[in-house]
Amino acid sequence: MKDLNFFASYIDKKRFNIDKQMIYYSTVILLISLVLIYSLFNQIRIRIISKDIVKLKAIISNERINKKVDKIIEDEAELNLYKNSLNEIRLLDEYVESNSTIEYYLFDMIISNTPNNIFFTSISMYTDNIQIIGNSIDQLSIGQLVKNFESIETFKNVFVSSISKEKQYYTFILNIDLKGVNMDGEVENIDKLET
């Protein structure tokens, strides 16, 4: 009969032997596998990117798309030109608004000194003169209009360049030169015009 030794497991320890060659080979195989996987992954990526490049080259060389791109570039240049023009118009509008006080004053003077039998068809204001085209029932009202305008201090020369009879009305053209405006069309003294 065999004796049982219950303490044998404590006395005989199993030793775990690590084989150095096995670790070395495992490490080398693992590194080679990683390099192969990485290079394979890069090759797949290169092929995908190459296909994308071929597609993009086909799009770039497409004549229809190039025409659309050229049209968009032309439209963008035209849009920029319109934006610049719009800015210039805004600046010009601001300038006109800031200098339009004289025009309102002149309109008030013209309207307040116009006889009842006269009505205007056109009033053109320039930097140094005003031209009025109108109709009157009789010539006497035109003479009264000229006399009224001559009494306005802002008006230098008031003269009727033409009078013609059309049906029941007299059509006339009245030209007025403005005082205080030099040859360049600039107002010499705005305070005199507004008093």
Write the single-letter amino acid at 81.
L
Please name the residues in contact with 174: beta carbons below 8 A apart, sequence gap of 6 or more.
131, 132, 133, 134, 142, 145, 146, 149, 158, 159, 160, 161
- In three-state secondary structure terms, 185 is coil
Residue 49 lies in a domain: yes
Q: What is the pLDDT of residue 154?
A: 83
- The predicted pLDDT at position 30 comes to 95
pLDDT of 44 reads 95
Q: Compute the residue count for the chain.
A: 195
- Rounded Cα distance between 174 and 177, Å, is 10
Q: Which pLDDT score, from 0 to 100, does residue 190 have?
A: 42
Domain identity same for 126 and 187: yes
CATH of the domain at 147: 3.30.1360.100
Cross-strand pairs, 46: none
- What is the DSSP pairing of strand 155-166 with strand 129-136? unpaired
For the chain, the domain total comes to 2
Is the domain of 103 the same as that of 185? yes
> Which pLDDT does position 128 carry in this prediction?
83
pLDDT along the chain (195 residues), means of 10: 66 63 91 96 95 87 85 93 90 75 74 89 86 92 91 88 89 88 47 43
- Parent domain of 56: 18-61
Exposed/middle/buried for residue 137 (C-beta within 10 Å: 0-12, 13-18, 19+): middle
Which positions ≥6 away from 169 have C-beta within 8 Å?
Answer: 135, 136, 137
One domain for residues 159 and 108: yes
Residue 165 lies in a domain: yes
Percent helix, strand and coil across the chain, each to the nearest 5: 55, 20, 25
Domain assignment present for residue 88? The answer is no
